[in-house]
Amino acid sequence: MYGKQHVFWLIYGTEVDLPAILAKLVGLGYEVAKSGYREGVAYFDPLPGGYAAVRRYEEGDVYILANLQRGAVGVVTEDFLLLKRGLADLSRALIELKMGEPPRAELHISFGIHGRLREGGEVKVGDTEFRKSGVYLTAGTPFNGDGVFVSISPLGVERLLFYLIVSGSWAFVRSRLNNIYDIISQLLKELVT
C-alpha cells in the first residue's frame, strides 16, 4: 500500500462551536488556527494546508479539519494508529465541552496498491464494447443510512486506487473502526491479484 490517507468526520449538521473546540485542542498540544465569531457565526483562518489544527507526534502528524457549512469536524492522518489517537484527542475535547455524539459520522480510507483486478467481463451496447475497469461495492445504505461503500479503480498498469467509506450513525462507524483493516484485507484477497 502507498499514499494512504485516513479521514474521520464527525458531522453535527448544525453550527459547531469551533473556537471552543480549538481552545481545548491547544491544551492537548495542538497548533490551532485563529478562530472566533463574526456576527454570531463561527469562523476560522486555516493553518497552511487548510487545516483547523495540527499536532506533531513522533510517528507523524494529526490534522484536524473543519467544515462549518456541514457543521463538521474531522481528523486526517496517513497512519491508522495516529487516526485513532487524533480521534481520541478530538473526542476528549468534545466530551469536555459537553457536546453530544454527532448524529452522523464518516470514515474515509484511500490508498494505492500494486496489482490487478480479477477479470470481470465485457458489456456490449449497440456496436460499442465496454470492458469493466473497476469495482464498486456497497453494504447497507452508506449514503443515507448505515453502510459501507468501496471503490477499486485502475490507475494504470498494475496500479489500483482503493477507496472505502463507512458512514452512518456514530455507533455504527465507531463499531467498524477497529476491524476495518480486516475487512479491507479480505476484500483485497477476493478482488485483487
Q: Are 70 and 113 in a shared domain? A: no
Closest by CA to 45, choosing from 31, 37, 33, is: 33
Which 8-state DSSP code applies to residue 145?
Answer: S
DSSP 33-59: -EEEEETTEEEEEPPTTS-SEEEEETT
Q: For cell 464494447, name the residue.
A: 129
> What does the alpha-carbon distance between residue 149 and residue 142 come to, in Å, rounded to a whole number?
6
Q: Are 75 and 111 in a shared domain? A: no
Segments forming the whole domain that contains residue 177 = 104-193
Say if CB 137 and CB 187 are below 8 A apart. yes
Q: For cell 480549538, name the residue.
A: 22
> What does the alpha-carbon distance between residue 89 and residue 19 come to, in Å, rounded to a whole number?
16
Which pTM does this prediction carry?
A: 0.91
Answer with the one of 102, 135, 162 that is the final residue of a domain.
102
Q: Are 61 and 121 in a shared domain? A: no
What is the number of structural domains in the chain? 2
CATH of the domain at 13: 3.30.310.50
Q: Are 160 and 111 in a shared domain? A: yes
Q: Are 25 and 72 in a shared domain? A: yes
Q: Are 61 and 98 in a shared domain? A: yes
- Per residue of the chain (193 residues), what is the pLDDT tens digit? 899 999 999 999 998 999 999 999 999 999 999 999 999 899 999 999 999 999 999 999 999 999 999 999 999 999 999 999 999 999 999 999 999 899 999 999 999 999 998 876 677 788 888 777 788 999 999 888 999 999 999 998 899 999 999 999 999 999 999 899 999 999 999 889 8
Rg (CA), the chain: 19
Cα-Cα-Cα-Cα dihedral sign, residues 106, 107, 112, 116: negative
Q: Over the stretch 40-66, which tens digit does the pLDDT of each residue have?
A: 899 999 999 999 999 999 999 999 999
pLDDT of residue 120: 67
